[in-house]
Amino acid sequence: MSPAVPTEARPSAGVLLLAGSPGDLDVALEAEETLNELRISSRLRVVSAHRTPDAAVECARSAEADGFGVIIAFAGLAAHLAGVTAAHSLLPVIGVPCSAGPLQGVDAVLATLQMPSGTPVATVAIDGAKNAALLAARILALHDPDLRKRLDSLRERDRERYRPDRVEAELKKRRKDREGRGP
């Protein structure tokens, strides 16, 4: 049986980042940072399925021809951007529900998650920009062995932070701080 993951090297496609409003940009920039760390090219645009529907549809339709392999859509409130994007592209779409308004993302997480059958959106946590970028990277890494290595090193670096001796040192420091504060 042939392997499921091709082993030949191919340059990785980029990631298209779509934010529903300038208010979502801080979350979107966190994803951009992670993609930069992994040396994955990306383009960040603000488009809205509600306010600029033609531009949103155009972005989704041209994304594949523009060299993107995954789309990440960031939106809060009644978040339709990821769903509309998935309706107009066959690329994998990851939805990031953004914390906004009185419900702080609970509305957006349901809107992004509860897609009707036939139009898939992979939904991450509220403001889960880093995981969205890492998930996009894992998808692209299926066809890019070098990217796979970079992902592996990044994960190793993250794991370092939770090494038992480091966690133990943190525990000691916190105990000391609490003692210092008195009863």
Contacting positions for ligand C2R (CB under 6 A): 20-21, 23-24, 48-51, 75-81, 98, 100
Q: What share of the chain is helix, strand, coil (3-state, %, to 5)?
A: 50, 15, 40
Residue 166 has a CB neighbour count (10 Å cut-off) of 11
Angle at 136 between CA 102 and CA 78, to 5 degrees: 25
Q: Provide, rounded to whole angstroms, the least separation between the CB of residue 105 and ligand C2R.
A: 9
Beta pairing, strands 68-75 & 14-19: parallel
Q: Provide, rounded to whole angstroms, the least separation between the CB of residue 71 and ligand C2R.
A: 13
Q: Provide, rounded to whole angstroms, the least separation between the CB of residue 103 and ligand C2R.
A: 11
Q: Provide, rounded to whole angstroms, the least separation between the CB of residue 99 and ligand C2R.
A: 8
The beta strand positions in the chain, using DSSP E, are: 14-19, 42-46, 68-75, 93-97, 122-123
Whichever of 13 and 84 has its CB closer to ligand C2R, that residue is: 84
Q: Provide, rounded to whole angstroms, the least separation between the CB of residue 30 and ligand C2R.
A: 15
Whichever of 21 and 34 has its CB closer to ligand C2R, that residue is: 21
d(CA 55, CA 59): 6
Whichever of 46 and 137 has its CB closer to ligand C2R, that residue is: 46
Whichever of 34 and 48 has its CB closer to ligand C2R, that residue is: 48
Instruction: Say if residues 109 and 126 touch (Cβ distance below 8 Å).
Output: yes
Whichever of 9 and 125 has its CB closer to ligand C2R, that residue is: 125
Residue 75 has a CB neighbour count (10 Å cut-off) of 30
